A and B are shown apart, each in its own frame.
Chain A
Amino acid sequence: MKEPIKELASVYQGTLDCVHCGLCLTSCPTYLATGRETSSPRGRVYLMRGAAEGRVELTGLLAEEAHLCLGCRACETACPAGVPYGAMLEETRAVLQASGARTSMAARLERGLLRNVVAHKNRLRAVVGLLGFAQRLGLDRLAARLLPASLRDALALMPRVPSGPDRAPLPETTPAQGERRGRVAFFTGCLMSEVFAPVQQATVRVLAANGFEVVVPAGQGCCGALHAHAGDLEHARGLARHNAAVFGRDDFDAILLDSAGCGAAMREAGHWIPGEGDAMASKVRDVCEFLDAVGLRTPTGRYDARVCYDDPCHLVHGQGVEAAPRRLLRQVPGLELVAHANPTRCCGAAGTYNLTQPEMSAIVLADKMDALCAADPEVIATGNPGCMMQLAKGVAGRGARARVVHPVEILDAAYRTPA
């Protein structure tokens, strides 16, 4: 008999809600890919309980499965008992991290990069700037031939970095257009604001066009999602505390984001830092959810394209937002929204998963691309930077015609093009 793991006490409480009904099984991409109970949500919850009770090793199969899990949280959408799987997974990874189970070079590199680069706006900006410079010189293609496989994959995922002026910081205040409907804060995040700066500019324009004054509070930081997913909950809590202070300085109607992963994390802030994070968490909304709730101003122009909307896991499973983006897109004149199979299933991006678990990520992506290619869209819309990069990689791999965009880019185009 192994020792019960006291540090898993909160995880253990979660496992007690599972009565082993199995409704989660077929929601799980890794179960579908392997057929193994061990790689299913029910199996992982069983392992968590087993480790907490001292019936299995913490650092054995549970450690492997905690990292083979995509963290897509589709099992939460399927679970009638409301097992808080995502939070349990983060907690388990944190306990594993603290136990020293993850000491590999890659794990330390990931943790170091997340702590020392991603969490610091200026450093990230410098790194991304360098990357863009390298891309323009063609050095990335040279580097791709020299670098080890995992870093090569990371480079291949990177979209073309916008040039310096296109990455200029957003104005601190953007006035509302037309009749004023309110004042909102915009959380820009790390990767979105650097690599997907044009998306963020589109978000601000769309909000302004809908009558909202948009404030981008100075001093805001990274949301901590990637840190939490990697088992560095301690650092994630610090980041959440910082953001709660920054966004607490003023009273906004809502705190909006255009990154589903950041949104889910910001909504967890109440759970990460009980008491301190609640006020911020209660105001966090995805931009699509918000626009749908307040009512979209009918676009003046058109967007003539056949579009598939693919749900980011951390929007549909993490925040329960499924219908809103589709309702917005249906209001765009000229747009034909076409269905594809399993839109709510993970694409395999899952934060840094496509770098840490490239084989499983590729299997999951292949399923996604089969479904998308069968629907043959001209445009794929999804509201999360990781998913946008992953799907773009999938599209390129299949030689498909689709462009991958954020839903707000479609709305923005429909406001800006003539009817």
Chain B
Amino acid sequence: MSTPDPSPHAAEGSLPGSGGDALAARLRAIVGSDGLLVRDDELFVYECDGLTLEACRPTAVVLPETTAQVAAVVRACRAAGVPFVPRGAGTGLSGGAHPVPGSVVIECSRMKKILAVDAENRTAVVQPGVVNADLSDAIQHLGLFYAPDPSSQLACTIGGNVAENSGGPHTLKYGATTDHVLAVEVVMPDGEILRLGSPTGAASGLDLVGAFVGSEGTLGIATEVTVRLTALPEAIETLLVIFPDVVTACRAVGEVIGTGLVPAAMEILDQRTIAAVEDSVYAAGLPRDAGAVLICELDGAAVSLDPQVERIREIARANQASDVRVAEDETQRAQFWKARKGAFGAMGRLAPDLYVHDAVVPRAKLPEVIAQVCEIADRHRLRLSNVFHAGDGNLHPNISFDRRDEDELGRVIQAGGEILAACVAAGGVITGEHGVGVEKRDYLPLVFSEADLDAMRRLRAAFDPDLVCNPGKAFPTTRFCAESNPKARGYDQVPFE
């Protein structure tokens, strides 16, 4: 795609630091003036992704359109001794696309071509900037879809999904991104272009695709991804089950999974989440007086669904559910999902900022951990909402706050640490699908020993020995300390009012 610049920005611009002018000139030679952003206020906009805390302005942003351009940009950065940060749509919640000081952001949003679709073999080859939902839309007429469906799927990109090994509601049945990536073309941190995996998905040699997916941009930049496509199910039933509270809903979920049923998705929304969503453009008629609702989706052969729906009704009733509604048609089903997927953004109605946690606990521990999480938030006087992938045991405690309130911010961070500790104590892990990024890097020692971390560091060094590709993410920066001083974590003081 060649885009004429509609608002010609300053044609010339230089980068700070020694050699900045030379790097700017080199980058401009690669991507053109239209593909290079260096002005202060342009860089300001790129200082964060879906995590608005711990922001940091980059030195430049480049928008390449081809693999060759990405490789050339990487080589230019290497020659200038400058670190670089790959970015998709900037919807990540752990700060995986946050710039680090002096870095060049490599924004892949213009690499949005679907290069090939092989319906017979159910694969597609896409550029990293292809939007997740656009891929499914483009292949729907072939009876296929791309299964991983993060809540941000209307905006997030396949490249970003690969970096974070993104999940989504349907991960329960279909698996996360790693289960759907067959091969990746990677621009290595030295600018070399490698192809990992094979288009058939048959593994020979070490599983480097497995290592790459979920590496949070620290092993290289994906420039072409071969993904597995999935046949659309013959039939789908979506249930909305009304519970008096989150804990009973969690118990019902555990019981459903315990019977051996494999629903496509099981999502719980608590009362505060329901209210936020019902106030929004994504209102789906969820009952505001419910303590919690469970969205339970079943798919597969049409004849197989009715007995499953009946079984779930029975379990729901036995667990104090007051009602089980079945989506009447595709429109209502879509409404339920839009409500679920718009929940994060809808919480903007509750407070200016939102801290979305992401931890996984064994399903059997869900009721107990949820109760603990609520207690922690109450004790710190914080507004907590829960909307999560219950079937996977993947919690998303959301804390609404205002970063301008320094005291509240401190309590948010303190509570976050306690929530993660509680999840780990229950046998869980500190991220299910959002990645470690900058947000959780210092919590890694909660789940990994120094030897574990060292093994990961050595793997990373095999790809990126000089630590220039998305540095500062996914690995602890210092020895572990549950730092709760907002200033020490780089939060901005805001001068307004």
Contact = CB atoms under 8 A, between A and B. Distances in A.
Interface of A: 1, 4, 12, 16-26, 30, 33-38, 43, 46-47, 50, 52-57, 60-62, 64-65, 67-68, 76-83, 357, 359-360, 363
25 contacts: A17-B348, A19-B344, A19-B348, A19-B354, A22-B90, A22-B156, A23-B154, A25-B89, A26-B154, A30-B6, A35-B109, A35-B129, A37-B109, A38-B41, A46-B44, A47-B41, A50-B41, A60-B39, A79-B345, A81-B346, A82-B280, A82-B348, A357-B7, A360-B7, A363-B3
A38 B348 contact: no
Contacts of B162: none
A46 B492 CA distance: 14
A357 B39 contact: no
Contacts of B49: 20
B277 A23 contact: no
Given A54-B496, A360-B6, A19 B44 contact: no
B40 interface: yes
A22 B87 CA distance: 13
Interface string B44-71: 1110111010000000000100000000
Contacts of A12: 496
Nearest to B344: A21
Contact of A52 (B129, B152, B496): B496
Contact of A53 (B89, B133, B155, B496): B496
A254 to B, nearest CB: 24
A4 B37 contact: no
**What DSSP secondary structure best describes chain B's contact surface?**
loop
B69 to A, nearest CB: 13
A395 B9 CA distance: 32
Contacts of A1: 495
Contacts of A43: 45
B155 A16 contact: no
A164 B131 CA distance: 52
Given A21-B50, A80-B280, A81-B280, A26 B155 contact: yes
Contacts of B161: none
A270 B151 CA distance: 35
Ranked nearest first, the 4 interchain pairs of A and B with the lowest CB-CB distance are A81-B348, A80-B345, A35-B109, A21-B345
B495 A23 contact: no
A261 to B, nearest CB: 21
B44 A55 contact: yes
Given A37-B45, A80-B344, 9 more contacts: A1-B495, A26-B155, A53-B495, A56-B44, A62-B41, A76-B281, A79-B345, A81-B349, A82-B349
B314 interface: no
Contacts of A30: 6
Given A17-B348, A52-B496, A80 B50 contact: no
A61 B496 contact: no
B202 interface: no
A60 B41 contact: yes
Contacts of A64: 7, 9
Contacts of A77: 281
A35 B110 contact: yes
A77 to B, nearest CB: 6
Contacts of B344: 19, 21, 80
Contacts of B152: 21-23
A357 B348 contact: no
A363 B6 CA distance: 9
Nearest to B156: A22
Contacts of B353: 19
A38 B154 contact: no
Nearest to A5: B496
Contacts of B280: 79-82
B345 A19 contact: yes
Interface string B368-386: 0000000000000000000
Contacts of A357: 6-7
Interface in B1-20: 3-4, 6-7, 9
Contacts of B352: 16-17, 19
A82 B63 CA distance: 30
Nearest to B352: A16
Contacts of A52: 496
Interface string B259-282: 000000000000000000101111
B488 interface: no
Interface string B319-361: 0000000000000000000000011111111001110000000
